[in-house]
Every structure is written in C-alpha cells, then in structure tokens.
Amino acid sequence: MPSSAVTPVLRDTRALLDPLLKRAEHCPALTAGAAGSFLSEGGSHEIVRFRFKGPHAEHDPLRIGLFAALHGDEPAGAEALVKWMTELVDEPWRVTGYDLTVIPICNPTGFEANTRHNHAGLDLNRQFWQRSSQPEITILERELIAGNFDGIITLHSDDTSAGLYGYAHGRLLNEALLKPALRASERVLPRNRAAMIDGFEASEGLIHRCFEGVLSAPPQQRPQPFDLIFETPALAPVELQVDATIVALETLLDEYRVFLAHSINL
C-alpha cells in the first residue's frame, strides 16, 4: 500500500532504546553496543545490538538472534523486544540457558521516517545474501555470520491482516515451534485463519513458502538454525501486539528447549 500521501510520523530511535541502554549500564547480563553505523543524507545512523545472557543451564548456551523493524513502519516488534528485555533484567530465569542477540531496529532510517523502505527506497527484507550494497544489509549479514545462531526469529506486523500468523519456510522444526507460539499468543490477539495470507497459501496462520531475500541464516551455515517470522496485525492496539509477541517469543524458547531435550534422549 503506498503511504506517500500520508503525513509522515517521525519517530526517534533513541526515545525507544535509551531507557534500555541505561538499564544495560547496571545489569551485567545485558550489554549493548553498535552493530555498525552508516551515513545517509539525513546524517549518521547506528544499528544498536543488545545481548542478554540468561542464567546458565546444563547445556551450552543456546544462541538466538532476534530482529525487528526491518520495515520501518512496523514498530510493534521493536517495542516488544525492548519491553521483553526490560522485563528480563528483573526476571532473567525466563531465558535460562539462552544467549540472546537482539537488534530491535534493523532499519533505523525507515523507523525514523515511518516508512517500510530504507533511506534509499529499498525493501531491506528482499536483500539478504544477494550481494546487496545497502549498509544495513552489510551490518546485519555480519551479525548473522558472527552470531552463528541456533535460532533466528524475525518480527513483523501486517496492516492487511486481522490476526497473528507466521512463516515457517516449509521446515518441520519451524512449524513445530511456531504452532504452539501461535496457540499461546492467540490468548492476546486473534489468529489469522484465512486460506491465503500475504499472497501465500496458509493453514491455521502458518505459511510454508516465503519471499526471496528475507533475513535468514547464512546459506552456508550448517546445520541451519530454526528460522521463522512472526507477524502481528498492525492495526491492532500496539500494547496487544507487544504482549502477543512476548508470549510468542517465550513459547518459542520453551518449545525449543523441549525439542532439544527430546532429541538428546533419542
């Protein structure tokens, strides 16, 4: 949907991130830094990366990468990640055994201008692993390589959907994690049960196929991590999108723990 006729809502990345950056100064489990920075005509921009290390479990820490606001006009995911990490500072047991790398605002110029695309007018979520020259992609691909993640979760919101849904990319593990996450978050917002969502066949809010060039693990990474996209209905109240996302995230992590416990016992 073209949004050029709509008066732009200008947003401030610092207003969202600063309270959490302050918390990081006093919480050893939470660290923050620049994943990278770049220049546009509007000035200099930073992509901020947080890390949260949950209490130790008996296994090696499970590395999860969480990404939001690749589309700058979808702030709910960024707000959800910030709220969740703020809660984790006080209740770290909720992510026992996990090492989280969190980039709440992947597209800072789009976030500030409230546009889907970045400052160059490109949809960043079609640019991954295609030798893109966009600085955001260079920074994010570097994070995806360095993170060597066991799981990748990307958050979006969709103003054409009346309910929650997700992309599982046709992989069984992704589906096995996404199904209970949708079931749990459905207590907060309805699920989209349409037969077609976003131009793809869907069942019970699950889409198997996907667009080319979406944020994903490096193609050469072995084994490939679990890798899924969670979508909230953009026109629902933001607080509910945030709460539904946090419920979904914690369910995904709990289910992944259960999956690993079962596979170790096989």
The contact set with Zn ion (CB under 5 A) reads: 71, 74, 156
Amino acid found at 176: A
Task: Report the residue number, 167 or 226, with the smaller CB distance to Zn ion.
Answer: 167
Task: Report the residue number, 74 or 227, with the smaller CB distance to Zn ion.
Answer: 74
Long-range contacts of 123-128 (CB under 8 A, 24+ apart): 123/71, 124/70, 124/71, 125/70, 125/71, 125/156, 125/211, 125/213, 125/214, 125/215, 126/211, 126/212, 126/213, 126/214, 127/213, 128/213, 128/214, 128/215, 128/216
Strand partners, 152: 65, 227
Tell me how crowded residue 39 is: count the other CB atoms within 10 A of its CB: 10
Least separation in angstroms between residue 155's CB and Zn ion is 8
Task: Report the residue number, 196 or 264, with the smaller CB distance to Zn ion.
Answer: 196
> Considering only CA atoms, which of 19, 75, 91 is closest in space to residue 50?
19
Least separation in angstroms between residue 212's CB and Zn ion is 15
Task: Report the residue number, 54 or 65, with the smaller CB distance to Zn ion.
Answer: 65
- Residue 244 to residue 188: CA distance in whole angstroms: 5
Task: Report the residue number, 71 or 119, with the smaller CB distance to Zn ion.
Answer: 71
| DSSP symbol at 133 | -
Task: Report the residue number, 54 or 72, with the smaller CB distance to Zn ion.
Answer: 72
